[in-house]
Amino acid sequence: MINETLFHGSKRAGLLTLNAAASQNTVFGPAIYCTADRSVAAAQSGANVIYKVRIEGPEEGIIEFDRPLLDASPRARAAIQTFLRRYKLMSILDTEDDRVDFLQERAAAELVRRGVEYPPKTLFNRIIAEEGVWLMRGEMHGLAKSGMVDRGIQWVVIDDRYLSILEQQPLYFERAG
């Protein structure tokens, strides 16, 4: 069981819940992006407030996106294969590098090439969530890293039922005199 306290930078203050589906379609698709480092959360684009959050859920519902698919839990492998079969993308598994972040990128690129207009990473996240995956995490590959904003580390909550807000904090704390 995963049970972690993390931080999320948000543009909106006063929220009672965070909604993965309403979030922007960014690096790993629509999700709630969290980090253990508060300063990384504060560096998120447009962040005006920090939410201290708790994520809690089963380990088998996690995809480690910087590891090979063969290392994934049976549930995670099955979820990814469901997506690949549904969109006739099983051939992208025929590669030397089968880390999940690269598989997701290749799948998205192929769907765009085919003319799929719906955001491909949104499709990926929805299907794997339907199959019981609630979290992707790990260190992003070098090309996806963007410095202070993520330092390469992400917790990507795609099913917000496993996340709760503990408290809202100001973006920056005032220094005591």
Q: Cβ atoms within 10 A of the Cβ of 21, count?
A: 14
Q: Cβ atoms within 10 A of the Cβ of 20, count?
A: 22
Give the pLDDT band (50/70/90) at residue 165: very high
Place of tokens 């069981």: 1
Instruction: Tell me what pLDDT residue 50 has.
Output: 96
**If you average pLDDT over residues 24-50, what whole number do you get?**
85
Report how far residue 26's alpha carbon sits from residue 95's, in angstroms, rounded to the nearest whole number. 25
119-137 burial, b if ≥16 CB within 10 A, otherwise e? ebbebbbbbbbebbbbbbb
pLDDT: is 68 or 146 the higher one?
A: 68
155 and 34 in contact (C-beta within 8 Å)? yes
Place of tokens 């590098």: 97
Instruction: Tell me what pLDDT residue 153 has.
Output: 62
Report how far residue 40's alpha carbon sits from residue 154's, in angstroms, rounded to the nearest whole number. 10
In the chain, alpha helices (H): 38-42, 74-86, 100-113, 120-130
Instruction: Tell me what pLDDT residue 175 has.
Output: 62
Give the pLDDT band (50/70/90) at residue 163: very high
Instruction: Tell me what pLDDT residue 142 has.
Output: 52
Report how far residue 62's alpha carbon sits from residue 72's, in angstroms, rounded to the nearest whole number. 8
**If you average pLDDT over residues 33-48, what whole number do you get?**
87
Query: 65 vs 12, 68, 72, 139, CA distance in Å?
Result: 28, 8, 9, 8
Instruction: Tell me what pLDDT residue 40 has.
Output: 85
Report how far residue 54's alpha carbon sits from residue 65's, in angstroms, rounded to the nearest whole number. 21
Q: What is the mean pLDDT of the chain?
A: 86
Q: What is the pLDDT of residues 90-131, one digit of tens each?
A: 888 777 776 777 778 888 889 999 998 888 889 999 999 999
Residue 54 above 90 pLDDT? yes
Structure tokens at 59: 């380990």
